[in-house]
């Protein structure tokens, strides 16, 4: 089995990288600067020795003593004073034969200068050399001594021990090492703070985790059947998934990325979401003739709005789903009730056949036929839309089955609508109102529901009046809130769907209720008939 190597964390990687870069940079600096520092230190000490040698060579006392060769002891005294005051290794004065007239060691006085590097100075040249004498290896500055008339009478050699030179160089390098150490510590602390800051910016996630999340997000965005677009804080579109691109292409909208949402997406309210921070759900939006059902939400980071997201679907597809949840469900329920009722009738007929009660059977069948003919005939004559007529008949059968009287007013009339989609909205409204009415009367002594359907001046009036216990004022204000119900959990969608359908149709809802006396829902919606279109 292959063992996975442990991955370094982002913080560790950044820390190691920055520390490595700082360390290499400082080491290269040390290499480049150390040689320069060493050279400068030697040069400074050489200049110091040369300056002291010139000072001694220009001393009138030394010049006079060498010229007349009298009182040469004063040269030793003066040289020692110069040596002690300038902190050099030695100050040696010789005559033109190289005989020492001064030396830190009095035993060396009168002896020949040692080192072999004094030849050129006795020829009148000034220079600096390194040689080994009686006091060890040293850096030595040579300066000739001239009288006022230009005659050379000797030379001065000022020496600084090479140990002192190395010590000075080492001190200079110690400053570099101190700087390197401080720089390295600052680099390490900076690297750790930087890594921590980056980690915080990335919500504590490692890069490989972010890459994985990005892959999963992309897979999710491009596989869901919802259109998704996102905008930044300036309302510029930053993301469009495949489904959104498909819907926008149908509307003739392309090249969205980087564009202002309000400039290329008609009727968008994403800029409003960015300003208010308030989400909007289940809103109908006209996209150049294509109706979409959209939800809009602000994107918050640390309680600050950094963008907005919109998810949407083609309303036609949503309408199919709505029909499955409402209209089709109502159709199926109505048909089940009707089937159940007819099964009961068939069982009665079968029983009468077994008992050979043919006369009674004839009367029973005639009664059923007359009753249904009267009911069906009435609905068919007054409700011209066959889908709506079948739905109402199914509801009437269902009401009879549960012992509820569903009365349809004698003056009711609904023409066939100009737009067939209007039927689905009416079924949604009527189905949910009747369901609520049935729930309201199921515990009442008199279980009566009155249904009124009136069409006049291109307005359809729907009234559902039940004999239930009524609704108090507090409950009335909450009836259309999604999920609110007095009947338990997983309820509260019916009246919410009714309100949404009425809003889409541009209609109005009125509620009249009194405790103990029932509830009346009155709905007024624009309704253009098919007959008016034909007559026009």
User: What contacts 470, CB < 8 A, 6 or more positions away?
Assistant: 513, 514, 515, 516, 517, 518, 519
Same fold, 13-168 and 223-314: yes
Residues 475, 468: Cα–Cα separation, whole Å? 15
Residues 56, 79: Cα–Cα separation, whole Å? 8
Residues 167, 185: Cα–Cα separation, whole Å? 26
Q: What is the Cα Rg of the chain in Å?
A: 54
Residues 92, 83: Cα–Cα separation, whole Å? 9
Hey, how many other C-beta atoms are within 10 angstroms of the C-beta on 523? Answer: 23
DSSP string, 447-462: -EEEEEEEEETTEEEE
Residues 291, 318: Cα–Cα separation, whole Å? 10
pLDDT in tens, the chain (536 residues): 444 455 677 677 777 777 777 778 777 777 777 677 777 777 888 888 899 999 988 888 888 888 877 777 888 888 889 888 888 888 999 988 888 888 888 888 888 888 888 888 888 899 988 877 766 777 889 999 998 888 898 999 998 877 766 676 677 667 777 777 787 788 778 777 877 777 777 666 677 777 777 777 776 766 677 888 889 989 999 888 888 888 888 888 888 888 888 888 888 888 888 888 899 888 888 888 888 888 999 988 778 888 999 988 887 665 655 554 555 555 555 556 566 666 777 777 777 788 877 777 777 777 666 666 666 778 878 888 888 888 888 788 788 878 888 888 888 888 888 888 888 888 888 888 888 888 888 888 888 999 999 998 889 999 999 988 888 888 877 777 776 666 655 456 778 888 888 888 899 999 988 888 889 999 999 998 877 544 44
Is 247 in contact with 312 (CB distance < 8 Å)?
Answer: yes
Which residue bears the tokens 């590097």?
Answer: 117
Give the architecture (CATH level 2) of 13-168: 2-Layer Sandwich (3.30)
Question: What's the CATH superfamily of 223-314?
Answer: PAS domain (3.30.450.20)
Question: Angle, nearest 10°, between helix axes 73-86 and 10-57?
Answer: 160
Q: Is the dihedral of CA 418, 420, 422, 423 positive or negative?
A: positive
Q: Where along the chain do its domains lie?
A: 13-168, 223-314, 357-535
Domain 357-535 has CATH 3.30.565.10: yes
Buried b (16+ CB within 10 A) or exposed e, 19-44: beebeeebeeebeebeeebbeebbee
Does the pTM surpass 0.85? The reply is: no
């Amino acid at each position: 089995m292959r063992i996975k190597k442990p991955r370094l964390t982002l913080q560790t990687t950044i820390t190691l990288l920055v520390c490595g870069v700082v360390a290499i940079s400082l080491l290269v600096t040390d290499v480049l600067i150390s040689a320069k520092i060493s050279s400068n230190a030697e040069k400074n000490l050489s200049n110091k020795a040369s300056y002291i040698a010139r000072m001694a060579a220009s001393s009138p006392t030394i010049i006079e003593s060498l010229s007349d060769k009298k009182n040469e002891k004063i040269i030793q005294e003066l040289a020692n004073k110069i040596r002690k005051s300038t902190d050099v290794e030695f100050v040696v004065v010789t005559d033109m034969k190289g005989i020492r007239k001064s030396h830190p060691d009095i035993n060396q006085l009168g002896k020949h200068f040692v080192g072999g590097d004094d030849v050129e100075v006795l020829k009148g040249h000034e220079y600096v050399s390194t040689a080994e004498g009686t006091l060890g290896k040293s850096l030595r500055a040579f300066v000739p001594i001239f009288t006022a008339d230009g005659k050379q009478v000797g030379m001065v050699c000022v020496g600084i021990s090479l140990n002192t030179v190395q010590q000075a160089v080492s001190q200079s390098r110690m400053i570099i090492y101190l700087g390197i150490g401080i720089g390295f510590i600052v680099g390490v602390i900076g690297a750790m703070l930087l890594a921590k800051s980056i980690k915080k910016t990335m919500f504590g996630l490692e890069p490989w985790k972010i890459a994985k999340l990005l892959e999963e997000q992309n897979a999710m965005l491009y596989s869901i059947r919802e259109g998704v677009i996102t905008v930044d804080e300036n309302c510029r579109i930053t993301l469009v998934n495949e489904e959104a691109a498909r819907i926008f292409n149908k509307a003739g909208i392309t090249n969205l990325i980087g564009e202002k949402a309000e400039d290329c997406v008609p009727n968008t309210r994403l800029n409003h979401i960015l300003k208010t921070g308030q989400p909007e759900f289940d809103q109908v939006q006209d996209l150049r003739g294509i109706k979409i059902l959209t939800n809009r939400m602000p994107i918050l980071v640390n309680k600050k709005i950094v963008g907005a997201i919109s998810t949407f679907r083609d309303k036609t597809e949503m309408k199919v789903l709505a029909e499955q949840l409402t209209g089709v469900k109502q159709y199926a329920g109505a048909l089940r009730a009707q089937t159940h009722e007819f099964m009961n009738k068939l069982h009665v007929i079968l029983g009468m056949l077994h008992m050979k009660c043919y006369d009674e059977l004839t009367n029973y069948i005639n009664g059923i036929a007359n009753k249904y003919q009267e009911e069906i005939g009435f609905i068919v004559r007054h409700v011209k839309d066959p889908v709506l007529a079948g739905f109402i008949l199914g509801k009437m059968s269902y009401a009879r089955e549960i012992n509820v009287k569903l009365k349809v007013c004698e003056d009711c009339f609904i023409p066939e609508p100009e737009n067939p989609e209007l039927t689905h909205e009416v079924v949604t409204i009527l189905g949910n109102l009747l369901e609520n009415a049935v729930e309201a009367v199921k515990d009442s002594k008199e279980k009566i529901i009155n249904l009124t359907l009136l069409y006049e001046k291109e307005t359809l009036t729907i009234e559902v009046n039940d004999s239930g216990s009524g609704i108090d004022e507090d409950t009335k204000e909450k009836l259309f809130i999604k999920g609110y119900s007095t009947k338990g959990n997983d309820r509260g969608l019916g009246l919410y769907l009714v309100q949404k359908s009425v809003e889409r149709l541009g209609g109005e809802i009125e509620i009249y209720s009194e405790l103990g006396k029932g509830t009346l829902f009155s709905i007024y919606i624009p309704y253009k008939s098919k007959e008016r279109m034909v007559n026009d």
